[in-house]
Structure 1
């Protein structure tokens, strides 16, 4: 599994991690097994949030990482509605209890909300000073929102922006990704398979994806993950509700694509026009 530095933090983590959105709708035992098999395969970055299943997914993750906490780079998120100064502190404490741990490696504001960002970032810094989080960042922030967060927090403080990014949705490449590159901010791609929008294998683009996968003896999903990782700040967190799916995702961590492969994918899945907004699910 390839590792790279998580932005300016310098912390080396795997390029392929594990997402847990909507895991509360899946079989719990199978999900715990998938997460544990994923850790075994090198996917030690696990991402969750207080929103997922109203805390149920954090509890599930807590079961999966029991006795293995030191192997994991653990991330969670605070809901915007809870992101006042006091609310952020309290939300973090709840997440820590559900996750059965005394610290998070990364804590994110799930999306921009109505509470002043100054309050949220102040709480993040105090949580870090208390040893309850190691790093903090944001999620679903567009260029203007991220620039504001950087200005408020100061340089080398916003460690990550977690955003929607997949073959059929490359909007972050226009403004957000370049901004993150300039500031040493990690980009974590959620829903890297499009959350139900994975390319149709009978489409022209889907056939290109399938042909590259066949030539390399891998799956189209592995090619899709690897394509997103072609720029240094990017990490991916696909969800897997079964061990087989987790292992398939992990295999993308050691895959390499040629310049020709990348050019063919660029043509098959064009960037599209600049809509001036950051898409979310």
Structure 2
């Protein structure tokens, strides 16, 4: 007799997703293998998602909705599932980020999460959590959906030039990442500036930070340390950091010159390497 693992649907969004997937599949009279064949995956993966051993992707949820005719139920639920994979201390910020109408961010070490490629994110996240890379990358990609809304937030990014030179992953990962940044050239909602090494001492040297603005909510300042985030609506902090951010914008290269620098670094540092063939013998 098959030992079916019991689930507590109230334990987490992931448990709820798994229990509902099992219930809807059985209602449809399908085995795990049957459903897997319909949604182009293995029956083993269906079983792993039903028992919370794997986190579903948005694509998986959409295919299951189509296969089981569940009227978008799993597609709506998967957002909560993926959000729950973010670090607990980061979830409050992610919630507010999704509601913001204007995001200003200064990044001194890495590309801002909303602009990371999947490969770049994976290379970053595998350093500390190699056991949860797939889940955390899926959660980060889910965050980026706000940039594809009909009315996305305005995003202004100032990044230190060192971000362009810090190798994350390999040359191909970095080349694709910088190419992705260049794809926003001309985007009315995304502006990217690079703070060059020649800027010297500046107001962002204490670390990365974000300022979120809303239509119907006080502005928020956010910064983080290794294992926790700090978010505040203190007017004095908002005023000081907003002025500091304006100074960073004034010191950084223009968006046009920044794009030229990104393109130059991409070609000079991360250019495709010619394949070495056998040497001819004279």
TM-score category of the 2 structures, normalised to the smaller one: under 0.3
TM-score, normalisation: structure 2: 0.26
Q: Which has the larger radius of gyration?
A: 2
Instruction: Identify the structure with bigger relative contact order (alpha carbons < 8 Å, sequence gap 6+).
Output: 1
